[in-house]
A and B are shown apart, each in its own frame.
Chain A
Amino acid sequence: MSAKAARFPKTPAAIGLTLFVIAWMVLVIILPLANVLFEAFARGVAPYLTSLAHPDAISAVKLTLLVAAIAVPLNAVFGIAAAWAITRFEFSGKGLLLSILDLPFTISPVISGLVWVLLFGAHGWFGAVLQDAGIQIIFALPGLVIATILVTLPFVARELIPLMQDQGTDEEVAAVTLGANGWSLFFRVTLPNIKWALTYGVLLCTARAMGEFGAVSVVSGHIRGLTNTLPLHIEVLYNEYDSVGAFAAATLLAGLAIITLILKTFLEWRFAGELAAHRKH
């Protein structure tokens, strides 16, 4: 197997195709990104800063960070546990478990929010019980968190499973034979082997958790300063024709996306061998 080495396009067809692809990437990817900045600063720097300093914007940023800070660690712990169970042991029903694990990628974000309303909403299965107990889940922080957890559930597990499958169990079996107990085995042998794949998974999970729109939109109720995450804050401002405000908030999320891409590219370049070979997302 020898792949053709990349070289400068020479034939007219190759040059034409390359130019088309560059033009297409500019149109589809780069212009929408540039447009965010352009619209945010359409009336100068002062209105941009004013919109970001608005209390609703600040509370949206705080809420977004809070939701991610709860959802991402939980999914990371789950991802490690799931990868450990799936790659280190044989048991029946593993295929089914993997399919269930992948479900959140196939389900519409709107449905990932809807299911929680069906359970905990005012007319949900547990709605009356929760109301009597004075617990609010939908239109409150817990709803935002569980909707985000559902949407971002597979990210960490999906990075770890192929990698841990490839790495095999030799080192871990050796450590157990030498008398390592469960936790020291995990922290001294497994974790150092998977740390970059774990970082990669956590990165993707965090980016999605902070940017999620559909699922949180359904469970949020859009209460200003209270249950609006940053993406929802953008929606509210945009629908009120506050273009500068909406795009100012959007620059924060676009910046987050760029940082994610840079870190992702860096991890892929620097630790290619320590990340899983095949990835879909």
Chain B
Amino acid sequence: MSPPASTPATHVVPEGFKPPKVTHNTRVLPGFKLSLGLTITYLSLIVLIPLAALIARPWEHGLEAVINTVTDERVLASLKVTFGISFAAAIANLFTGLAVAWVLTRYEFPGKRILDALVDLPFALPTAVAGISLCTMYATNGWIGSLLEPLGIRVSYTPLGIFVALVFVGLPFIVRSVQPVLAEFDAEVEEAATTLGASPLQTAFRVILPALAPALLTGFSLAFARAVGEYGSVIFIAGNMPFLSEITPLLIVIKLEEFDYAGAATVALTLLSLSFLVLIVLNAAQLILSKRGQK
């Protein structure tokens, strides 16, 4: 490979020389290795290695043990309670959350700023505090529970209690997803619809709602995902009756307290996989909706 002797020395390309790669990013700024290295190390230690344990440990007593745990009636019942009530609460929040977002963006009234700030309370209030407060409020001698008791409705220590707690936890997700879209919604489109003879209801359902659909679905997914994993605000008010009002996260704790690590990991992995599955479906639906909205 060495050049002929007659070639001028300036043209000699040293062996092993590679021309510098021309990349999109020339990395002028310092700290790439340090920041990325720190990020990857931290994420590995805090998230990936622990998750590896969660994925690996269910199988230590064989596949049969996993199947037995997952198909256990009590586990199945808890999954039904968890996903069913999470779904119901997210649906309820879809309507009330939309109403709250609508009123907060469209109307002016005294105390609106405070109400707007308070929407985030469920994010800020520790779940244990929400849990004990809701439980006493809806108990038969509580503020709300005592009003419902004569009607034959019991909330605390029933599945309805789980619903109430999950509605509390999920409200801000819907409101905060919808609010920015509603605030930026072009008023001219609405006015155009009205000018063209659309009734207010027609405008709402055929013009505004389709534009809000992707944001509503985002809020729904976030509220649902949060509800499925929720623990602190639920366990006090749920009553935790096996097969009736026992949520899956509590069952994980119970298995752990019995030192059944593999069982706890199995139930946890099932819960996590199912909620990811739901989230993937909801994300796909959201993608389709927002594409349709762009046409």
Contacts and interface: CB of A to CB of B under 8 A. Distances in A.
Contacts of B115: 22, 25
A214 B231 contact: yes
Interface in B215-254: 222, 225, 228-232, 236, 249-250, 252-253
Select the residue from A1, A30, A108, A265 with max chain B CB neighbours within 10 A: A108
A39 B43 contact: no
A173 B107 contact: no
Nearest to B38: A81
B106 interface: yes
Given A211-B126, A253-B126, A107 B132 contact: no
A129 to B, nearest CB: 14
Contacts of B232: 109, 213-214, 217, 231
Given A1-B186, A97-B43, A81 B35 contact: yes
Given A21-B103, A82-B39, A32 B133 contact: yes
Interface residues of A, number: 107
Contact of B268 (A2, A104, A114): A114
Interface string B9-25: 00000000000000111
Given A106-B275, A153-B46, A211-B125, A250 B99 contact: no
A169 B222 CA distance: 32
Interface in A77-112: 77-78, 81-82, 84-86, 88-91, 97, 100-101, 103-111
A264 to B, nearest CB: 7
A185 interface: yes
Interface stretch (B62-70, B72-80, B136-144, B152-160): B136-144
Given A107-B229, A176-B30, A30 B118 contact: yes
Given A28-B167, A257-B125, A36 B133 contact: yes
Given A28-B167, A231-B126, A247 B30 contact: no
Contacts of A43: none
A169 B261 CA distance: 48
Chain A binding surface SS class: helix
Contacts of A1: 184, 186
A115 interface: yes
A278 B176 CA distance: 10
Chain B binding surface SS class: helix
Interface of B: 23-25, 27-32, 34-36, 38-40, 42-43, 46-51, 53-54, 57, 96, 99-100, 102-109, 111, 113, 115, 117-130, 132-134, 136-137, 142-144, 167-168, 171, 173, 176-177, 180, 183-188, 190, 200, 222, 225, 228-232, 236, 249-250, 252-253, 256, 259, 261, 264-265, 268, 271-272, 275-276, 279
Given A105-B225, A111-B268, 17 more contacts: A14-B106, A32-B130, A84-B31, A85-B36, A89-B27, A89-B32, A100-B43, A103-B47, A104-B47, A106-B275, A107-B229, A109-B231, A110-B249, A118-B50, A246-B132, A247-B133, A250-B132
27 contacts: A14-B107, A21-B102, A31-B143, A82-B35, A82-B39, A84-B31, A85-B38, A89-B25, A104-B47, A108-B230, A109-B249, A110-B253, A118-B261, A119-B53, A121-B261, A122-B259, A124-B53, A181-B30, A204-B123, A211-B125, A218-B256, A231-B232, A234-B132, A258-B124, A262-B117, A264-B124, A280-B173
